[in-house]
A and B are shown apart, each in its own frame.
Chain A
Amino acid sequence: MAEAGTELRVKKIRDGTVIDHIKAGYGPAVLRILGVTKDFDKVLTMAMNVPSSRTGRKDIVKVEGRELARSELNKISLITPDATVNIIRDYEVRKKVRVSLPKRIQGIVRCINPNCVTNAGEPVEPTFDVVSRDPIRLRCTYCGKFLEEKEIMDQF
């Protein structure tokens, strides 16, 4: 999980979720996806720019007492497709999940085209084809508009 020296910065948790290998600088965006506001009542730790042998630098987020839902993992995969998610129970890694970005995503972000039928009050979930993974680029299957990384990040 954490690499040498990391433990000093981010201590082990008993139960909860560790999101590791977040692209450096994207930790705050992950917090937005998790809905972290002033009312968030779990113990949460974030480390930014932690040295990483794989990518040079990375961010880490640890949430105590909460296991992430699949929908949250899907959102995280949009902005940092190489992140790993470890479910911790009683200090042990019980499940290790690599977030994976499907070829087509539904309902996670909305289309930025105000004239798209998915923004017209129709009972339809916005649906996108993943055109590029890193940097992320999506294309609306209805209106064909591209969504670039910034436009996706702005929605979280």
Chain B
Amino acid sequence: MEFEGRDVIDIRDFSREEVEFILDVSQKFEPIAAGQRRSNLLQGYVLCNLFFEPSTRTRLSFSSAMMRLGGSVTGFATGATSSIAKGETLSDTVRVVENYCDVMVLRSNKEGAARLAADLSSKPVINAGDGSRQHPTQTLLDLYTIRKEFGRIDGLSIALVGDLKYGRTVHSLSYGLTKYDVDLCLVSPPELRMPEEVIEDLEKEGLNVKETSDLSQVVRESDVLYVTRIQKERFPDPTEYERMKGAYSVDAKLLQDAKKGLIVMHPLPRVDEISPDVDSLPNARYFQQVFSGLVVRMALLSLVLGRWGD
């Protein structure tokens, strides 16, 4: 398995063995992520964050991962403070920024932006989300969280709930799950169904996919309930958003009938799709996902920079 210099654009670019290896490496970083051990593994290396879309977790988590390993971080958190605001293309920005860093983390609302950046950059590019399309590091941290909880991913019943049309985390995760033997249940309002092309891909990969709108039944049958926010910013029509918001809400009452051991996950930020009364239940895992994000990103940075094993 070769990771040095590799781009992380789409979870489909990685085999199951490679995904499992990344998750194994991630686990080794837990003490460092928790601040119990210090590391200088990436000392002298520079990460550049290019975030053209707002982000709290992904950007801070990449920064924290880099700094916890002794590396440095530069970049910008919004396109408004970069030359993009002056009309510079992403292509030019990437060609410039690659001179300043050893690895680039890119988030853009344009689908395929990370692939384009990777084509242009001689330094590894990590996709931190491109429009409604892919978010591979979120997928890896989701898989890490699930595997840590159950000790396996095969054989589980996983439900994705909410905005399956625009949500890149669910598109990306469902592609990631094709590497495993799972039952996938898609729960959404009809208007926010998983895009046809994604379902087609999943079925072609042999994934057992079921679509439903009955959340209470799903809660009784699933091991993982992966809830997503209805994303206001992706709706072309604000009235459509107003109709859809609050379509599904997970609360303590709903979870009373949950399958034993069910965990509730969410890529965050949440708005009102998970009630705060779930936070204290043993099912809630969304804040643990944040920690998973840190270790997975430490692993990825070490691997693509060729420093793992040193």
Q: How far is the CA of A143 from the CA of B112 in the complex (A)?
A: 5
With both beta carbons as reference points, the residue of chain B lying nearest to A126 in the complex is identified as B112
With both beta carbons as reference points, the residue of chain B lying nearest to A141 in the complex is identified as B115
Q: Which residues 111-135 of A sit at the B interface, judged by CB distance below 8 A?
A: 113, 115-118, 120-124
With contact pairs A115-B131, A144-B197 given, residues A123 and B91 touching in the complex (Cβ less than 8 Å):
yes
Q: How far is the CA of A146 from the CA of B131 in the complex (A)?
A: 16
Inter-subunit contact A118/B89 (CB<8 Å): no
**A60 within 8 A of partner (CB):** no
Closest chain A CB from B143 CB (angstroms): 21
For chain A, the bracket of interface size reads 10 to 19
Residues of chain B touching chain A, judged by Cβ–Cβ distance below 8 Å, are 89-91, 108-113, 115-116, 119, 130-133, 197
With contact pairs A113-B111, A140-B112, A143-B112 given, residues A120 and B90 touching in the complex (Cβ less than 8 Å):
yes
Q: Which listed residue (A113, A122, A146) contacts B116, Cβ 8 A?
A: A122
Residues of chain A touching chain B, judged by Cβ–Cβ distance below 8 Å, are 113, 115-118, 120-124, 140-146
Inter-subunit contact A121/B89 (CB<8 Å): yes
With contact pairs A145-B197, A146-B197 given, residues A117 and B111 touching in the complex (Cβ less than 8 Å):
yes
Inter-subunit contact B89/A116 (CB<8 Å): no
Chain B residues, CB < 8 A from A124: 91, 116, 119
With both beta carbons as reference points, the residue of chain A lying nearest to B110 in the complex is identified as A117
A-B pairs, top 3 by smallest CB distance, nearest first, are: A142-B112, A143-B111, A117-B112
Give the dominant DSSP class at A's interface: loop
Closest chain A CB from B135 CB (angstroms): 14
Given A118-B112, A120-B90, A142-B112, 15 other A-B residues pairs in contact with their CB atoms under 8 A: A113-B111, A115-B109, A115-B110, A115-B131, A116-B111, A117-B110, A117-B111, A117-B130, A120-B110, A122-B91, A123-B89, A124-B119, A142-B111, A143-B131, A145-B197
Chain B residues, CB < 8 A from A118: 112
Q: How far is the CA of A118 from the CA of B91 in the complex (A)?
A: 11
Chain A residues, CB < 8 A from B89: 121-123
Closest chain A CB from B277 CB (angstroms): 37
Chain A residues, CB < 8 A from B197: 144-146
Q: How far is the CA of A45 from the CA of B29 in the complex (A)?
A: 71
Closest chain A CB from B108 CB (angstroms): 8
Inter-subunit contact B91/A115 (CB<8 Å): no
Closest chain A CB from B93 CB (angstroms): 10
With both beta carbons as reference points, the residue of chain A lying nearest to B134 in the complex is identified as A144
Give 12 A-B contacts (CB < 8 Å), ordered by A residue.
Answer: A113-B111, A115-B110, A115-B131, A117-B111, A117-B130, A120-B90, A122-B90, A123-B91, A142-B111, A143-B111, A143-B112, A144-B111
Q: How far is the CA of A115 from the CA of B109 in the complex (A)?
A: 8
Q: How far is the CA of A71 from the CA of B116 in the complex (A)?
A: 24
Inter-subunit contact B115/A142 (CB<8 Å): yes
Inter-subunit contact A116/B112 (CB<8 Å): yes
With both beta carbons as reference points, the residue of chain B lying nearest to A123 in the complex is identified as B91
Q: How far is the CA of A115 from the CA of B166 in the complex (A)?
A: 12
With both beta carbons as reference points, the residue of chain A lying nearest to B12 in the complex is identified as A144
Chain B residues, CB < 8 A from A140: 112
Chain A residues, CB < 8 A from B116: 117, 122, 124, 142
With both beta carbons as reference points, the residue of chain B lying nearest to A140 in the complex is identified as B112
Closest chain B CB from A110 CB (angstroms): 13
Q: How far is the CA of A37 from the CA of B66 in the complex (A)?
A: 59
With both beta carbons as reference points, the residue of chain A lying nearest to B89 in the complex is identified as A122
